[in-house]
Amino acid sequence: MTFWSRKPLVKAALISMLAITVVSGCTNSGGGGAGTQPGGSGGEGGSADAPVQVKVFKSHMGKGKIPGSDDPHVQYVAKHTGVEYQLMSTPPGSEPAEYINLMIASDELPDILRPIGGVEQTLIQQGGALALDDLLPKYAPHVWENIPKEAWDIVRSASDDGKIYYVPKVYLIPERAPMIRKDWVEAVGMEMPKTVEEYKELLRAFRDKDPNGNGQKDELPTSGREFGRWMDHLFAIYGVAMWEGFPEWALYDGEIQYAGVTDNMKAAVGFIRELYAEKLLDNETFLNKGDVWTAKINNNLVGSWYHLPANLRDRFTAMRAGAPNAYVAGMPLPKAEGFEGFVTQKSMGEPEWIIPKASEAKAPAALKLLDFFYNEEHSEFVRFGIEGVQHEVVNGKKVLLPQSDDKPIGLGMRNLTTKADMDVRIDQTIPEDMQQMVRDIFEVSTKDAKRIAGDGLPSTVYEGFPDIQSHKLFQEYLTKIVIGEWPIEKFDEFVDRWYKAGGETVTKRVQEWYAKTKQ
């Protein structure tokens, strides 16, 4: 049974692509496993001799090779759950959402997967997703009990029948933050900017005064990625709800609205256009792929950017190889006159794991596997994995090892983070000389963070309007206005086109959803 409507595909090509099963990733920080012991039979469990095999699909998991049945990480999890995980990931160079579509179209679905690009709603609407209401308390009690009721209620609001079809991500602290090279600020003899004009002056100093000290005029005061992504700090100054470069839904003038069509957005785009014209914004921003953008930051070329403080360890280590005095700080949002800036926070409701209906027989085993990563009894293993592969012991303390192509990478499935979780993660996985730096970044971003009204918004609101959902129209106007091909006045044309292209209908759906969730 196929749960996705799409044009005919060449079956041989599908089989060829789907034959590429790539593993990589890292052991997620946070909780551990369901202390379910091996046992049972059929789809509900396994035995010490014959654990149930469960295919798990993740994406964007970095370097690593496929772990086989003899891998010690796989074996440890199987010993405690009766489930042997078979990790799948997006092949190099493939787009995750497109790859999932190919799997669905060819009936080659995994037993549990992380949905991307709204695929969870396609499965739900076409009967391809398994309802988990009765299964979660029985087979994944730690998942069921640790995730807040509010999050489960948001998940229920995403389906017409009010059932739970996926396990949500829950992140109860600000996940992303504006960051700045504090050593650069000091090198140019300035202070942390308090206003937009002060920020521009600081960026000009980054551009002109050689803060990286290499004698070359190669500094990029701030930078982003293709399609205008991952420069949310520039939008945040003007109170624009953004998530990795995509406009989100927040309250404007008392109503929930798409941030992309607000006066706040127009002001932000005008500001970013000015930065680009002065070469204060990396003029390759709309060409930068993720690895190129990361390399620029790691190689001490970027002064101000936006990303995840919890993932700063490897990036900061790379910086210090070329700049021993490097130091990263959280940047409080500079004040823009007439606007209330904020860092977008999304805490719960975003789909994290879904089980296809076709894998119903494996659902108990898949949920036991997931539960393993939410049980605090296994938290240390989940965080550090196997010695010599995921970590080494230095002076009696476990230290995570960097990922590499020649090492099998252990599966991580928990995505529930509280402040207490993050404090433990920093203490246990961040080197001591970086810990206070990371804590300080979180403290700054927390002060500026605001949880948006559209947190947990289901992708069903976009049904029939794929271009609205993909933000293609927004990205086209953003790019051409910022690089100077179009004047800022064209933004008004974008707003008009957006509403006529389906934005009016989508806005009505979002407002109805918001009214329902508030009740």
Tell me where in the chain the CATH 3.40.190.10 domain(s) lie. 11-167+352-417, 177-345+452-518
For the beta carbon of residue 76, count every other beta carbon within 10 angstroms. Answer: 17
**Sign for the pseudo-dihedral over CA of 2, 8, 11, 16:** negative
- The token pair that represents 477 in the structure block: 């106007």
- CA distance linking residue 267 with residue 244, whole number of Å: 19
Query: What's this model's pTM, rounded to 2 decimal places?
Result: 0.80
- The token pair that represents 165 in the structure block: 């079809």
Q: What is the mean pLDDT of residues 325-350?
A: 96
For residue 214, pLDDT over 90 is answered with yes
Task: Tell me whether strands 220-222 and 449-451 are parallel, antiparallel or unpaired.
Answer: unpaired
3-state secondary structure 63-93: CCECCCCCCHHHHHHHHHHCEEEEEECCCCC
* CB 76, CB 381: distance < 8 Å: yes
pLDDT band, residue 23 (cuts 50/70/90):
very low
pLDDT digits (tens, 9 = 90+) for 112-142: 999 887 788 888 888 999 999 999 999 999 9
Count of helix runs (H) and strand runs (E) in the chain = 21, 18
How much of the chain is in helix, strand and coil states, percent to nearest 5?
45, 15, 40
Q: 298 or 429, which is more confident?
A: 298
- CA distance linking residue 291 with residue 194, whole number of Å: 31
Q: What is the mean pLDDT of residues 383-410?
A: 89
3-state secondary structure 135-199: HHHHHCHHHHHHCCHHHHHHHHCCCCCCCCCEEEEEECCCCCEEEEEHHHHHHCCCCCCCEHHHH
For the beta carbon of residue 493, count every other beta carbon within 10 angstroms. Answer: 11
For residue 88, pLDDT over 70 is answered with yes
pLDDT digits (tens, 9 = 90+) for 422-460: 998 898 889 999 999 999 999 999 999 999 999 989 888
450 secondary structure, DSSP code: E
SS3 216: coil
> Which class would CATH give 177-345+452-518?
alpha beta
Collect all residues with Cβ–Cβ distance below 8 Å to 352 and sequence separation of at least 6: 114, 166, 167, 168, 169, 415
CATH topology of domain 11-167+352-417: D-Maltodextrin-Binding Protein; domain 2 (3.40.190)
Task: Tell me whether strands 302-307 and 177-181 are parallel, antiparallel or unpaired.
Answer: antiparallel
* CB 234, CB 247: distance < 8 Å: no
pLDDT band, residue 16 (cuts 50/70/90):
very low
Among residues 362, 370, 348, the alpha carbon closest in space to that of 414 is found at 370
- The token pair that represents 313 in the structure block: 């360890």
- CA distance linking residue 199 with residue 300, whole number of Å: 19
The per-residue pLDDT of the chain, averaged, comes to: 88
pLDDT at 93: 67
pLDDT digits (tens, 9 = 90+) for 309-335: 999 998 999 999 999 999 999 999 999
pLDDT digits (tens, 9 = 90+) for 29-38: 333 333 333 3
Residue corresponding to tokens 């521009």: 200
Type of residue found at 211: P
